[in-house]
Amino acid sequence: MEKLEILNELREFYAGKRIFLTGHTGFKGAWMLFLLRELGADVSGYSLAPLHKNDLYVLAGGESLCNSRIADIRDRESVEAAISAVRPDLIFHLAAQPLVRESYRRPLETFDTNIMGSVHVLDAMRRLPDACTAVMITTDKVYENMEGGFPYKENDRLGGFDPYSSSKAAAEICIASYQKAFFTPEIFAEHGKAVAAARGGNVIGGGDRADDRIIPDLIRAIEADEELKVRNPQAIRPWQHVLELLYGYLLLGMRLSRDPLHCQGAFNFGPCDQDEMTVEELVTTAIRIYGKGRYIHRSDAEKLHEAGILRLNIDKAMRVLDWHPRWSSATAAEKTIRWYRQVAEGENAALSCRRQILEYFGEEKA
């Protein structure tokens, strides 16, 4: 489908919809908030407070764009009160402890947030009297990683070595249970509820400030005029621009609401075959586009288990949702680094996001 045509279809569907967005103060959540507002949706957010004063949500004035509730996803009563007050048409659940290395430091909190947080959202949805669709964001790391290099399909075995990956795999089992036990697609007309899981890989984009992620680490190193220490330069990751994944979530939410029987289950969102970059290629591309920065290989790094290679088979998302990656990893890197450079040069962060959203959908003027 042509770019503008799909933007119009998304606008028609999302305009005026009540959306409950968890994780709205985070990197992907803030971009999702801007996208949903661009489509005319009425967004209520539920998250912890932003961590840094230069987080995207703060820089781009996210608080003025939604009804923001700062609260903990582990607090069942609070989640239920918030969801029953909003009575959302759709839920996008992004709130999580999303970092592998942090999950080694805080495994209990990671399991609690990622598993029970998801269950709290699903159960609050179950209690809603009205129809509701939920897109639950997990990760490509839910697969039992055989390190074989072959692309994982949605029905491959779930697993997870580190606490982050296994907490998300466990959340997927809970999501599938709620779907089978309470939101059965075959009797959708009786309950009006539909749920699906979205699995994506490493996303990059302007405004990410998380620790232990390659682009934010590089930007911090550039700002401090220091060398970036790269742990695994040859590791391949499915780099994609954040808008690519969020576009997938939006399509999934729309199609799942209309046709739960054919859009149920889990969906992989990743780059096309052959569109791969190593960590080192990403870093050198980013340094070239920013115009400054330097890096070294850090061989003394703390040795925690990290998956070497992870590829996703995206046939299901292409076939069922008509979702197709639009930006190559090189374009994703270019857009991301331009965003940081322009904002460092004084451009308004919200304007930079809006311009890239419109570029992504083929409406260039912001």
Ligand X SMILES: NC(=O)c1ccc[n+]([C@@H]2O[C@H](COP(=O)([O-])OP(=O)(O)OC[C@H]3O[C@@H](n4cnc5c(N)ncnc54)[C@H](O)[C@@H]3O)[C@@H](O)[C@H]2O)c1
User: Per CB under 6 A, does 264 bind ligand X?
Assistant: no
Report the residue from 10, 20, 25, 44 that binds ligand X according to the rule CB under 6 A. 25
Q: Which residues of 311-325 are buried (b: 16+ CB within 10 A; e: fewer)?
A: bbbbebbeebbebeb
User: Per CB under 6 A, does 48 bind ligand X?
Assistant: yes
User: Per CB under 6 A, does 102 bind ligand X?
Assistant: no
Instruction: State the nearest-atom distance from the C-beta of 39 to ligand X, in Å.
Output: 19
If the CB atoms of residues 256 and 310 are measured against ligand X, the closer one turns out to be 310
User: Per CB under 6 A, does 72 bind ligand X?
Assistant: yes
For residues 326-345, which are near ligand X according to CB under 6 A? none
User: How far apart are the C-alpha atoms of 144 and 165, rounded to whole Å?
Assistant: 9
For residues 170-209, which are near ligand X according to CB under 6 A? 200, 202-203
User: Per CB under 6 A, does 166 bind ligand X?
Assistant: no
Using alpha carbons, select from 245, 246, 239, 235 the residue that is nearest to residue 215: 239
If the CB atoms of residues 23 and 271 are measured against ligand X, the closer one turns out to be 23
Report the residue from 83, 96, 219, 266 that binds ligand X according to the rule CB under 6 A. 96
β-strands 132-137, 90-93 pairing? parallel
Report the residue from 11, 18, 74, 106 that binds ligand X according to the rule CB under 6 A. 74
* Dihedral sign (CA 51, 55, 56, 57): positive
Interacting residues of 6 by C-beta distance below 8 A, sequence separation 6+: 251, 361
Q: What's the token pair of residue 191?
A: 């309950």
User: Per CB under 6 A, does 235 bind ligand X?
Assistant: no
Report the residue from 98, 185, 207, 325 that binds ligand X according to the rule CB under 6 A. 98
Report the residue from 7, 20, 26, 249 that binds ligand X according to the rule CB under 6 A. 26
Alpha-helical regions (H) of 55-131: 56-59, 76-86, 100-105, 107-111, 117-127
User: Per CB under 6 A, does 246 bind ligand X?
Assistant: no
Report the residue from 59, 66, 73, 194 that binds ligand X according to the rule CB under 6 A. 73
Q: Which residues of 115-140 are buried (b: 16+ CB within 10 A; e: fewer)?
A: bbbbbbbbbbbbebeeebbbbbbbbb
User: Per CB under 6 A, does 352 bind ligand X?
Assistant: no
The mark string for 104-143 relative to ligand X (x by CB under 6 A, - otherwise) is ---------x-----------------------x-x----
Report the residue from 6, 10, 28, 115 that binds ligand X according to the rule CB under 6 A. 28
Burial of 349: CB neighbours in 10 Å, binned 0-12, 13-18, 19+: buried
User: How far apart are the C-alpha atoms of 182 and 69, rounded to whole Å?
Assistant: 27
Stretch that binds ligand X, among 22-30, 258-266, 272-280, 356-364 (CB under 6 A): 22-30
User: Per CB under 6 A, does 23 bind ligand X?
Assistant: yes
User: Per CB under 6 A, does 81 bind ligand X?
Assistant: no
Residue with the CB atom nearest ligand X in the bound state: 26
Interacting residues of 365 by C-beta distance below 8 A, sequence separation 6+: 358
In total, the chain counts a number of residues equal to: 366
Tell me if 320 sits within 8 A of 262, measured CB to CB: yes
If the CB atoms of residues 112 and 259 are measured against ligand X, the closer one turns out to be 112
If the CB atoms of residues 185 and 231 are measured against ligand X, the closer one turns out to be 231
HSE (CB half, 13 Å, CA atoms) of 288? Answer: 9
State the residues that interact with ligand X by CB under 6 A.
Answer: 23, 25-29, 47-48, 72-74, 94-98, 113, 137, 139, 200, 202-203, 210
